[in-house]
Each structure stands twice: as C-alpha cells, then as structure tokens.
Structure 1
C-alpha cells in the first residue's frame, strides 16, 4: 500500500496539501494525516470521500507522539511514497519578553519534531519516494523579534540540504519548500498580535498553487522551490549581501 504522510494537516498550507496530493499523486492509496485536532482530521476525511485516510491526532512537539507513530508504522508496515513535513509554529516577540514555554514549543516542533518525523518514516521509504520539507523565507536572513522562529527554519533548511545528499544514493529526493506570506491561521494570529508589521507589506502567495507546485518539484527531483519574483530575488540577495546589513530590513 502506497501511503503519503502530511503533518500539520488541519489548516493553512497543510490542508491545501491534501487536495494537491490527490491531484498530483494518483498512485497514492492512502493519506495519513497528522495534527493535534482529531475533529478537524475527521472533517477533512468526511469531506474527501474519494481518498482513503488514516488519522493520527498527534502533537509532534511531544516525545510521546513519536512512540505512538513508531508503533503504528511497525504494525501497518506501509510503503511511504511521500512525506510532507509541514507542521510548524511561530510566536513573535523579543526573547526577553517571550514565555519560555513558547520558545520551547517552537524548538520542540520546528526542530526536534521535524527531524524525528523524517527519522521515524525513513525505514518505510523506497526509491522514487520524496520528502517535502516546508521551511520559510524567514530562513534566508535572521528576523529580529522572530529570532527563534527564523533560526528554527534555518535549521530545517540546513538539515534538509544535508539530508538530500545522504539520501540521493537511495533514490529518495528531499525538496525544500520556502513559503512566504500566506493566508493562514498562524499568520492571522501574528498580525493580530502586532498591528504594524512588515508582514503587511509582503506579497501573499496563492497557497493552493504553492502546494501543487512544491509537490510537482519534489516529484521531479528538484532541491527547492520558492514562489513569486519578490521572494526569489530575496533569496538571491540573501546569498550575496552580508546578513549584518540585511537584518535591518527583516525586522517586524
């Protein structure tokens, strides 16, 4: 049985990945959806009767979730053809003002969770399968007032780039997705938390199109995908201009 696994499935980009996978990967027999909210997982499954789903209501910021996932994989022995490592969280604020619990949650989910997700699924992946790691344009340059978040996304990008070379001999592609501004629950919370922000000025992605394009790129063996000329240019500039200068423009 060919399985695709999506984390952070119940809202935003993760939700769009469900429909995109069905369209772009007709060879998939079943989608495993991982997110904290069981009721939303069930609602997605009921809304999409043309696909078989297996719901895993797990919080990937908690170590116990990986024990449950490891057991489920061992019991079911699926062939994981696609892993979309999308789950992530962002809290905004200066380090001195941010609750330690928020810092720990970002590190637990964005770094530890995303890494262990890949580690746990790898034994069930075969040649021609792919891992799509959702990072962020925030990984290009450090973001003051989003210091922890941008650092965790830089980790994801670095980890995925190295892993791509480790897994190339096995025929497993690792593709990095670099989303920018999107209409998501997380983004709305950030905007509500701080009225004046650079986020308001950045171009918004078509989330549905981004989901489709990143899957297409991953299947083609591409290393990464960035959407819109603005973000593509920002990525190039971040490689050429000293970050000590650019960081002045990434404040929010």
Structure 2
C-alpha cells in the first residue's frame, strides 16, 4: 500500500491533500504541533479538545491563517459514551460541510498524567489515568475504524517511559505500555485493510504536562541533559515524525514503536 485514497475534494496541496485527520488532545502541546503540521501538509484537521475552547479556537485560527483547513471538536474522554459522542460531533460537522463522514488519519494524542510512586498509588488515580489513556483510546479506535478508509493511518502517541524505568509515574507508564501493546495487536488485525498502526514515543517535550519540572534553570537543564542533543524536545520534533507516519511514504511501516526522544538515556 503506497498511497491513501482521496477523501474529499480540495484545492490544498501537500502529501495529505484530500485527507481528513482527527487529532485528539489537539488544543495545546504535542497535539497542537501535530494538528498544525498535518494541516500544513494538506489535511483537513479535526482539532479535538476537552475543556479549553479558547486554546482550540486558537489552533484552528493558526491553521487557517496559514492557508490550511481545520475545525474544533469538543468532547470529554474517559466518560461513558465518549467515543460515540466524539464521532457524532465529527459526523455532524463533516456533513455540514458536505463531506462524507470518513477519516483517513487518526492520531491518539489525548492523555492525562499523574505523578505517583508505587506506595502513593490510589484506585482513584488508576481509574483517572486508565479511563482516558487506555479505555477511551481503545473505544475511540474501535469506533473510528467504522469510518476509516482502506489504507488509513492510526498513530498512537506513547512515551519513552515504556522503555526505561520511570518509578515517579508508575501508573502513567503502565498506561502507555498498554498503548504500545495495542499498537502491535491492531497492526496485525488491520493489515488486510491496508491500515498501518504505529506508535511514536516522545521523551521530555516543552508542554504543560511537565512544566513543573522546568520551573528552575536547574530543572530545565536536567531534562535537557537526558537527550544527546542537550535540549528539551519541541512539539514540532514529534509532529515531524507523525507527519511521516501519516504520509504515503510510510505505507510499508506498521506495528512499530518510533522513539522520538532525542536519544534520551542512550
């Protein structure tokens, strides 16, 4: 499979022209970087978010100002009926635009975190993290597959914490390990449809999720020093990897975990 089928009439240019991409958790951080990059490559981007309407609108405005196309979609994940609500909103907006309710690219970026060592873990923390990072992930993909065209792309945003010990966030690390395992299973399951399924694993990136670790020059320097490039990653570093996996050039890659950590802890 070397190409993706066209999904909509468009005058956009780029390797993703004519495609529709859904990016969860796209109002800020890594998700925003991915949404902006996929739009720059020609895709119509669905900017999913949970609460921050202003931030999501800002992403959409930024994309449109650069000649791209996008729209926001608000849905809370980790609650009953979340996947159905997400796609009902997507179907409605695509229908309003006269576009078939189909997607070509699904980027699962939405996640919650919570720092806790093993002796600090509570049932409430496990439920909070797994309800979004694992349960919602599974059903967003399940429902999305009823709308995904042959030759589509599923890209899961995991973490470098699945390949190195990170006891400070044991539950979060477990949830991302589940994502990595799901990637393998789905890659084999969906090969007959030409759909690729891959994982991208960032290290420390300048996002709100780790802002507390960068509040002092010493803290920022410690995070930067984990990479062989002696800097903290930028959302655009991750977006570039995702853009490749979303493109026709990645059609022979599936079931893989691409480390995008800047060589953290080599």
What TM-score range do you get, normalising by the shorter chain? 0.7 to 0.9
Give the secondary structure class of the aligned counterpart of 2:175: helix
Is the counterpart of residue 184 in structure 1 residue 207 in structure 2? yes
Q: Extract unaligned runs of 5+ from structure 2.
A: 1-7, 9-18
Return the offset for 1:104: 1.6
Count of residue pairs brought into register by the alignment: 229
Return the match for 1:205 from 214, 217, 233: 233
Counterpart of 1:60 in structure 2 is: 77
Do 1:90 and 1:149's aligned partners in 2 also have CA atoms closer than 8 Å?
Answer: yes
Question: Counterparts of 2:138 and 2:200 in 1: how far apart (Å)?
Answer: 16
Do 2:156 and 2:179's aligned partners in 1 also have CA atoms closer than 8 Å?
Answer: yes
Question: Counterparts of 1:140 and 1:18 in 2: how far apart (Å)?
Answer: 26
Q: CA RMSD in A?
A: 2.5
Do 2:34 and 2:238's aligned partners in 1 also have CA atoms closer than 8 Å?
Answer: no
Q: Extract unaligned runs of 5+ from structure 1.
A: 235-252
Question: Counterparts of 1:60 and 1:190 in 2: how far apart (Å)?
Answer: 26
Question: Counterparts of 1:200 and 1:63 in 2: how far apart (Å)?
Answer: 39
Counterpart of 2:105 in structure 1 is: 82
Counterpart of 1:242 in structure 2 is: none
Which whole-Å deviations, capped at 9, do the CAs of 1:187-244 have from their partners, x for residues lacking one? 113556xx9797564222232032112221343132332235624x75xxxxxxxxxx
Is the counterpart of residue 69 in structure 1 residue 95 in structure 2? no
Which whole-Å deviations, capped at 9, do the CAs of 1:62-105 have from their partners, x for residues lacking one? 22332312433555442201111111121112244345433321
Question: Counterparts of 1:229 and 1:200 in 2: how far apart (Å)?
Answer: 10
Q: Structure 1's 145 and 229: CA in aligned 2 closer, same or farther, altered over 3 A?
A: closer
Question: Counterparts of 1:148 and 1:199 in 2: how far apart (Å)?
Answer: 21
More helix by share: 1
Is the counterpart of residue 115 in structure 1 residue 138 in structure 2? yes
Question: Counterparts of 2:80 and 2:165 in 1: how far apart (Å)?
Answer: 28
Question: Counterparts of 1:95 and 1:191 in 2: how far apart (Å)?
Answer: 24
Q: Structure 1's 64 and 141: CA in aligned 2 closer, same or farther, altered over 3 A?
A: same
Return the offset for 1:182: 0.7
TM-score by length of 2: 0.77
Do 1:86 and 1:133's aligned partners in 2 also have CA atoms closer than 8 Å?
Answer: yes
Counterpart of 2:14 in structure 1 is: none
Give the secondary structure class of the aligned counterpart of 2:263: helix
Question: Counterparts of 2:47 and 2:164 in 1: how far apart (Å)?
Answer: 31
